[in-house]
Amino acid sequence: MDENASMEEQWICEAQAGSAVAFGQLVAVYQGKLYGFLLSYVGRGDVADELTQEAFLKAWRGLKGFRSESRFQTWLFQIGLNVLRGWGRREKIRRLRERAFGWLREDDETPRAPEERLKDSRLDADPQRAVDAGELREKTNGAVALLPPKEKMVFLLRHEQGLPLADIARVMNVAEGTVKAHLFHALAKLRKTLEEHR
């Protein structure tokens, strides 16, 4: 067992005993990863921030029930996914109400939060390469946004967060074969969409 894993186990035990400081260490390790996944899915920094906070609050409240049968990250992402699903249901209801009653949303023009990725220094040196990479990223993000919800989730958990297929299956509470199928279909649709926009 590496040192990071043993520290994490120690923080989990201390947090389960009520240590907010130990839980703060877990938040520091996983907040960026969970936020990045949620941001990739919802596309708005303010919403991703709220969902991340809600997920960590639920994790804190449910920490005593955490069993080390799965990794903490897997358990936390399962909570994040449940929070995301709840948000999706609330959004669907809100949109139906707006459509039914003609209500206007005041935040329609909310810009998407900037991506929190490291810049490739080669892109800075070659402006055309930077433009091409930006266009490709924009097309890819647009294509990912069009994926069905389950395929989108699998794609983001695998390619944005780097989770192994087995962990994604546990997070989504489905068989690993189902995850593989969703990933296969997502990649095929992305390939087709991106080829059409060449």
Q: Residue 43: which region, alpha, beta or left (left: phi > 0; alpha: psi -120 to 50)?
A: left
**Mean pLDDT of the region 49-53:** 95
Position 31 scores a pLDDT of 95
Give dist(CA 72, CA 60) in Å, integer: 12
Residue that the structure tokens 């546990």 belong to:
170
Taking the whole predicted model, whether its pTM rises above 0.85 is answered as: no
Q: Indicate if the pLDDT at residue 115 is higher than 70.
A: no
Task: Judge contact between 100 and 92, C-beta under 8 A.
Answer: no
Sign of the C-alpha dihedral computed for residues 34, 36, 42 and 48 taken in this order? positive
The 3-state secondary structure of 49-65, one letter per residue: HHHHHHHHHHHHHHHHH
Which tens digits make up the pLDDT trace of 142-157?
888 889 989 998 988 8
The alpha carbons of the chain give a radius of gyration, in whole angstroms, of: 19
Give dist(CA 18, CA 11) in Å, integer: 10
Return the SS3 of 163: coil
**Lowest mean pLDDT segment, chosen from 62-66, 127-131, 161-165:** 127-131
- The identity of residue 130, as a single letter, is A
Position 120 scores a pLDDT of 44
What six digits make up the tokens of 177?
A: 């074969």
Position 130 scores a pLDDT of 61
Position 10 scores a pLDDT of 92
**Mean pLDDT of the region 115-121:** 39
Main-chain phi, psi angles of 184, to 5 degrees: -60, -50
Give dist(CA 155, CA 88) in Å, integer: 18
Return the SS3 of 105: coil
% of the chain with per-residue pLDDT over 90: 38
Residue 117 banded pLDDT, cuts 50, 70, 90: very low
Which tens digits make up the pLDDT trace of 73-102?
999 999 999 999 899 888 877 776 665 544
DSSP code of residue 174: S
**Mean pLDDT of the region 60-82:** 90
Q: Indicate if the pLDDT at residue 119 is higher than 70.
A: no
Domains and CATH numbers, the chain: 21-105 (1.10.1740.10), 142-198 (1.10.10.10)
Position 41 scores a pLDDT of 86
- The identity of residue 109, as a single letter, is E
